[in-house]
Amino acid sequence: MSGFLTNAKPILANAENRYEVTRSDLPLSCPMPGMALWNSHPKVYLPVAEDGGESVCPYCGARYVLRD
């Protein structure tokens, strides 16, 4: 296993209510890549760019806001 995976500190899924994302994060999914998934919900894709720059996850209620 690479050192990146073993030493990286994952972002906790569902730990915050609001996440700022950029176009480089698209296509956007919740939970996002890099989040710890052991206590999370099924992956769902969110149309943040099509929804006027803001989307809410139907599972956990996390709000994603497109910064740019």
User: pLDDT digit string (tens) for 9-42?
Assistant: 666 666 668 999 999 999 999 998 888 776 789 9
Separation of alpha carbons 68 and 58, rounded Å: 23
pLDDT at 5 over 50: no
Closest among 61, 34, 67, 35 to 46, alpha carbons compared: 61
Strand (E) or helix (H) holding 3: helix 3-7
Reduced to 3 states (helix: H, G, I; strand: E, B; else coil), residue 9 is: coil
pTM: 0.73
Query: Is-contact 63 14, C-beta < 8 A?
Result: no
| Residue extents of the structural domains in the chain | 3-66
Reduced to 3 states (helix: H, G, I; strand: E, B; else coil), residue 24 is: helix
